[in-house]
Structure formats: C-alpha cells, structure tokens
Amino acid sequence: VVELACIATQGARGVPSHFNTSTAFDAAIFTIMGLGTLAFFAGYAAMAWSLIRRPGPSRLIDVATVAGLVLSIAGGLVGVAMVAVFDGHGIGVGGGSLPLFGWRVAGGDLRVPHFVGIHALQALPAMAWLAERYLRRGRGAVLVVGSAAYLLLFAGVVHLTLAGRSLLDILA
C-alpha cells in the first residue's frame, strides 16, 4: 500500500516514481518505496518459511505458493540490482519501447525478469488451483513441470537481459 501510494503520488505530480532523485522529496519517495519493497520481500520469506514448517500434509496450493514466493523474491532481487548495481533498468545499447509495458525493444531491460519473477506468486498458485479443480490425476506433475518451466523462463530472461539483448531478440 505504501509503495502504491508513493507511485500514485508521483503520478499525480506528473513525475517519474522510479529512479527519480531530482529533488529531496523525490529522493525520499524513492527511498520509501525501496524500504517498503524490502519489507515486503522479508514478509514473503516469512510466509514461505511458515508454509514449509506447517505440520500435516502439504496441499498442492501450498507448494505452489512457496515456489511462487521464492521466485517472487528472486524477481524482487532483480529490482534491488536495478537500483544498487545498475542504477537503472537498461543494459546495453537500445532504443524504442514495447507498447503497454514500456520495455526496451533493443538492448536488455531488467524490468522483464523483474516482472516475470514477481508475478510467479500469482502464476504458480493459479496453476495449482486449476490443476486441483480440473484434473483427476497428474496434479503434482503439472505443478512440477509448470514450476520448472516458469523457473527456466525466469532464468532465460535474466540471462538474455544480462547479455544486453531484448526479449524480442528471441523472436527474430
């Protein structure tokens, strides 16, 4: 909620919310967003640990949630790297942007693996829910294969980005 309030505030002011340190106020907003995000991912780690340690049989949705939390933390760490290591999201020479998302169409863009990673928390439990609801057999296999595929997607976009290549490069 704090991060969304900061983003909305900056949007209402007509200024960028991320990487904006042009005034003391803007820098404070960006710092608050960063600290809130770190607290958010610490909470994710605590939730994953709680689900792992919970007694009794593990439900498929619990396993998917833990996998989603772990990948979401990894995606969050990409966000930390954008700030602490790269001071931005672009890697390599690039121009132009993808409609809707604004991702670079030339050169690497760390927002892609950040997006893929953090949204594992929605994708993997949704996959488990669908498997539990619509499959009689093979539910666990669907989750294992789906989680492995999602992990490979995440690792692939991290590799592609760090190599300074656009997501569109794999389509060309």
pLDDT digits (tens, 9 = 90+) for 112-142: 999 999 999 999 999 999 998 999 899 889 9
Report CA-CA distances (Å) from 33 to 26, 80, 109.
11, 11, 20
Is residue 20 a contact partner of residue 30, using CB atoms and an 8 Å limit?
A: yes
Is residue 126 a contact partner of residue 119, using CB atoms and an 8 Å limit?
A: no
Put residue 96 in one of left, alpha, beta given phi > 0 → left and psi -120 to 50 → alpha.
Answer: left
pLDDT at 145 over 80: yes
Banded pLDDT at 107 (limits 50, 70, 90):
confident
What's the rounded Cα separation, in Å, for the pair 50 and 132? 22
Structure tokens at 90: 């672009």
What are the pLDDT digits (tens) for 86-104? 888 888 877 788 888 888 8
Top pLDDT among 1 and 47 is at: 47
What are the pLDDT digits (tens) for 45-56? 999 999 999 887
Mean pLDDT is lowest, of 21-25, 35-39, 123-127, 144-148, for: 35-39
Report CA-CA distances (Å) from 59 to 19, 37, 131, 144, 156.
40, 28, 12, 13, 29
